[in-house]
Structure 1
Amino acid sequence: MRVMGVDPGLTRCGLSMIETGRGRDVVALDVDVVRTAADEPLARRLMAISDTVEHWMDTHLPDVIAIERVFAHQNANTAMGTAQAGGVIALAAAKREIDVHFHTPSEVKAAVTGNGRADKAQVTEMVTRILKLQSKPTPADAADALALAICHCWRAPMIARMAAAEAMAAEQKRKYQAKLKAVR
């Protein structure tokens, strides 16, 4: 499975592509950071991110996109920009019929470090070890994008089991309601 990890942001948007093998084996295929200037109009910044992300999707052909979910931010403008960048990326994926999954920062940190409150240095160190990289990915947005992709690879089997269980429960509920309706 090929997973594109995205750490969305207007100024720096981290992109990564990893491939999972057997078990917890993951291999980094590519990593980059899209940068846009703060003095550019919002629409141009979003278009630059969109163009780059679309090129990545068309070049790397990911099976799924893992995007960091905007959870809470002290700065509302930063949170809004992050959400807008994430939305542009989710739209590009939807146009290509690529599944999108959102993961919170604490889910990602817990997946790669075992601690949902790990700092950026710990995340970067573990990403470097897990992927057996020669050097630490920089800036932190690149490491975060790799961590998102790793998180999704490791959580994907559980996500699939949960979706199957939810589908089964919905089917059972539908059958039960049909049975009740027939009795009335």
Structure 2
Amino acid sequence: MIILGLDPGLGCTGWGVIAADGNRLSHVANGQVRTDSKAALPARLLELSRRLGEVLAEHRPDSAAVEEVFVNANPQSTLKLGQARGVVLLAAAAIGIEVGEYAARLVKKAVVGRGGADKVQVHAMVQRLLPGVTIAGADAADALAVAITHAHHLASARILQPRSP
């Protein structure tokens, strides 16, 4: 199964693609979509949508996972993050794939073992779980962590699913 993890942001959205075969995970690709901070909001959202469409078309994931919005101290930043997250959700839903949503604390706990882990710890654990990976940046590391979390949740759900007689 190919899983796309997404860490939404208006300035920079991280993405990471992994392959999951049971409990075995392998890195496929990762990167970041940056938008021009000087451009108008609609143009930035359109650029984000276009570039995510390219990632989706190239990697053709079976499933996607997105980090949930957290509330910033700055309401404007929270609104912009919410708008970018909407574009991310729409891009995945538009191609008809399942989209899982995970709180940042849950992702950190799933990958690092501690919900209060910092970005450096997440980055280090992603590198350990996906040996040999070159990570494009902090947002890409977070996106790979979201994909790993989704892979583990999907595997657990399959195990717990009752079998038909």
Q: TM-score, normalised by structure 1?
A: 0.82
Structure with bigger helix share is: 1
The alignment yields a C-alpha RMSD, in angstroms, of: 1.7
Residue pair 2:66, 2:146 contacting (<8 A) in 1 also: yes
Where has structure 1 moved over 6 Å in runs of 4 or more? none
Residue pair 2:15, 2:32 contacting (<8 A) in 1 also: yes
2:12 maps to 1:12: yes
Q: Which residue of 2 aligns with 1:146?
A: 144
Residue identity in the other structure for 2:155: P
Q: How many residues align?
A: 162
Residue pair 2:7, 2:139 contacting (<8 A) in 1 also: yes
Q: Which residue of 1 aligns with 2:30?
A: 31
Residue identity in the other structure for 2:114: N
**Greater C-alpha radius of gyration:** 1
Residue identity in the other structure for 2:43: R
In the aligned structure 1, how far is the partner of 2:104 from the partner of 2:19?
21
Q: Secondary structure at the match of 1:28?
A: strand
Deviation at 1:108, TM superposition (A): 0.5
In the aligned structure 2, how far is the partner of 1:122 from the partner of 1:141?
13
Deviations 1:1-58 (A, max 9, x none): 11101000011110111011232x2111010101112111001101111001111111
Unpaired segments ≥5 residues, structure 1: 166-184
Deviation at 1:121, TM superposition (A): 0.5
Deviations 1:31-86 (A, max 9, x none): 01011121110011011110011111111111111011003222222221221111
Percent identical residues: 36
Q: Which residue of 2 aligns with 1:48?
A: 47
Deviation at 1:97, TM superposition (A): 0.8
Residues 104-143 of structure 1: pairs in structure 2 closer than 5 A: 104-133=103-132, 135=134, 137-143=135-141
Residue identity in the other structure for 2:109: A
Unpaired segments ≥5 residues, structure 2: none
Deviation at 1:99, TM superposition (A): 0.8
Q: Secondary structure at the match of 1:84?
A: helix
Structure of higher RCO (CA pairs closer than 8 Å, 6+ residues apart): 2
Q: TM-score, normalised by structure 2?
A: 0.91
Q: Secondary structure at the match of 2:108?
A: helix
